[in-house]
Every structure is written in structure tokens, then in C-alpha cells.
Amino acid sequence: AAVLSDVEDTTGPVGMNPLVANAAVLLNTVPTIRRSLQHADPAGLRDYLLRAITEFESRARAGGASPEHVLISRYALCTVIDEAVANMPWGASPEWVQQSLLVTLHREGFGGEKFFQLLEKAMEDPRRNIDLLELMYVCIALGFEGRYSVIDNGRQQLDALRDRLHGVIRRERGEFDRDLSGKWKGVQRVAKPLVRRLSVWLVLAAVALVLFVLYLVFALMLASKSDPVFNSLAAIRVDVGDLKRAPPPPPPPAAPRLKPLLAAEILADQLEVTEDATSSHVIIHGDKFYDPGSAEIKPALVPVIQRIAAAINQVPGVVLVSGHTDNQPTKRSLRFPSNYELSLERARGVAALLEQSVRNHAIKAEGLADSKPLAPNTTPDGRARNRRVEITLRTGA
């Protein structure tokens, strides 16, 4: 994993855009995070970044930035860094899931929509907001996608917005002098052969970059094939033939059930409960408690899970948490290369919350992707119903 403390403090000289210049350390961490497939201390990284954000605010204000611009810049930087962390395999650590930078400083769980709302508002008065526009342009240039990562043709729409923003900035700043110094002349020297000037570390860095790109390409290619294979496996059924079975034993006494214990939550439309002879199935619809393509649980879901746990404690049995998605492909990333990984991570997150309160129950988690839909995936409403987490309590009755 890369060491973020090694990132150079590259704050710019006096006269530069005070927001971009003083955010350089934070902006430099974004590509560093994206290269870090592992991180030994996410909590330490979070503390480091919070200190760096505080330092940015102080320096930006001292450099002449307005309090409004500093606040919006802080929001943008938190959102960009949180997205970079969330797309990495180690981004599911409790330090980030429960206390991201945006949650800590702005009490919001997802800024991918508001970032672009603030950008559009700032573009209405480019002369006043030019420094802020340049900072947000750098954020997009570093790969921030926000809401455009989960909508149709999002990449093309984001490219068009970036080009429009570049035009606004260029019209306000004017054309720049492409020569660093008009009177400067270099020393005439005979160039050495290129091979002699290449250092060993540069060659190694190039080889490492090529290997990383190849790994990423093959990982995403493999992930694109995993959903059909998973669905085929889920569809396998064993034909046991026409077996003669002994008559069933008499039914045992009725066991206590979850549905009456969760009547208030059902009435509030926070969940659904269906029951059969041996099981209670609690259905939590994902769109209420997750952002698109994310496994990070929204704070509103935590008390609901706690009340479910309290109900489970009153009914003996085994708990199975299963994650489900629709049939739309995920945004390909190292953390969620397919719907299977996304559904499994959501199930694990709910299971972890249950384990904090549930006593004397075995709890397991599984990801089922789109293999068990509740409704056809041909309509938006059907797909929304299929994006869910189910908590099944098997009483053994």
C-alpha cells in the first residue's frame, strides 16, 4: 500500500488560486488511494486526512478565499476522497463505512449528487466563483464521477459537463502564455542517447504500471462473466425422483413469529415480513437505505436493524442474511466487479449490525445477485423491488 504521508506538500506560490494551491496535498492523495489495493491503517488515514482538511481551510482563508468557497471546497474534497476510498477493496472498513469524511464534517452519507448541484450554481456567476470552479474541475479531472457513475450514458454526460466547465474557465481566465519565459534560451547541448538517460527506477515503474493495467483489465473481464455463471449455478436443481416418503410427523406447537413483533415497522413501510410454516422473512428494500451501487448502510437503517435484532432475540432459530440485486450490471470496480460482490457486501453489512445485538443465534450471510427476483426486471418498479436485503429466521418448526 502506498504511504500517504510521503505525498509532497505542493502548496503553490502566492498569487495562485488559493483553493487549488492549498488543496494540493489532499488532491494528490486521490491517485495515491486509487493505487493502494490494500491499506494497513484506514483509521490512521482518516485522521491524517481530517487534519489535512483543517489545514487546508486555514491556509485557504489566509490566502483570501471566502468562507463560502472554503466550505463548498471542503464538501467537494470530502466527496472526492470518499468516492476514491469506497471504490477500493479496503473501503468497506468500519472506519469509512460509518465515519466517512463527508459524514464526519457535513453529516451526509453521499455527495455525488450535491457536488454537481453546487457546480451548476457556481457556474451561474463564473467571475465571482472562478477559483471554486477551477478546484471542482480538478476534482473531475482526477476521476470523480459521483451520480454519473450509476446513470445511463453517465460517462458521456460527465465528459460533456467537463468540456463545458473548461470553456467557462477559459473564457473567464483568458488565453494563457504558453511560454514560461519569453526571453529565456536554453543551453545548446548534444543530447545523450535516450537509453542512457533512463534510470532503473523509471523502467521498473513502467513495468509495474503495465502489470497493474493488465491485472485490472483481466479482473474486470472475469467479473463481466461471473454474473451469468453465478445465475447458472443458482438455477441448478437436483432431481431426486419420485421417492416414497414416510408420513409427516404431527405439527409441533406454533412457535413465536417475527411479524407481530415488527408490526410498527411494517406499518411505517420500513420493511416487509412474510412467513411460512418454518420461517419468517424480513425484506428490507435497498433503495431506501443504500445509495446506487454502494454497500454503505445509510444511518437511517441502523435503528431498524436494531429493532429487528430485538425481535429475533425473542424467537429461537438460525438467521440467514441474503443480499439481492436487479439484473443491471454494476459499475465495474475492484471492490464490486459484479452484482454478486455487491449483494454479498450488503448482506455482510446487515449481518454485522445484527451480531452486535442478537444473542444465541447463528448468523450467516450470502450474496445472490439477481438469481431470485421478486418481480420482473423489465420495469423500474420491478428492478427497485428486487434490490433488497432479506433476513430469514428459520425456527425449525
How far apart are alpha carbons 20 and 133 in whole angstroms? 10
Residue 339: closest CA among 271, 387, 291, 287:
387
Q: Domains along the chain?
A: 4-173 (1.25.40.590), 260-394 (3.30.1330.60)
Share of the chain above pLDDT 70, in %: 78
**pLDDT at 196 (0 to 100):** 54
Q: Residue 11 pLDDT > 90, yes or no? A: no
Residue 228 confidence (pLDDT): 65
Q: Dump pLDDT digits (tens) for 44-61.
A: 888 999 999 999 999 999
For 311-329, write each residue's pLDDT tens digit: 999 988 899 999 999 988 8
Alpha carbon distances (Å) from 68 to 60, 80, 172, 173:
11, 19, 20, 21
Most confident of 205-214, 334-343, 351-360: 351-360
DSSP-derived secondary structure letter, 151 = S
Q: How far apart are CA 366 and CA 344, in angstroms?
A: 5
- Over the range 134-168, which residues count as b (16 or more CB within 10 Å of their CB) and which as e? bbbbbbbeeebbbbbbbeeeeeeebeebeeebeeb
Per-residue pLDDT, averaged over 24-37, amounts to 89
Q: What is the pLDDT of residue 139?
A: 94
Q: Mean per-residue pLDDT for 156-163?
A: 93
| Cell numbers for 46 | 482518516
Confidence of residue 290 (pLDDT cuts 50, 70, 90): confident
- Predicted local distance difference test score (pLDDT) of residue 156: 92
Residue 330: pLDDT band (50, 70, 90) is confident
Residue with cell 434490490: 387
Residue with cell 465528459: 159
- Model-wide pTM > 0.85: no
**Residue with more model confidence, 123 or 2:** 123
pLDDT at 274 over 80: yes
158: its cell numbers: 460527465
- Banded model confidence at residue 289, pLDDT cuts 50, 70, 90: confident
Question: Whole-number mean pLDDT of the chain?
Answer: 82
Q: In whole angstroms, what is the distance from residue 16 CA to residue 10 CA?
A: 12
Q: Which residue has the higher pLDDT, 219 or 104?
A: 104
Instruction: Rank 63-77, 272-286, 290-304 by mean pLDDT and report only the highest.
Output: 63-77
Residue 122 pLDDT = 94
| pLDDT given at position 149 | 85
How far is Cα 326 from Cα 110, in angstroms, rounded to an integer? Answer: 21
Please check whether residue 370 is in contact with residue 339, taking contact to mean a CB–CB distance below 8 angstroms.
yes
Residue 323 DSSP label: E
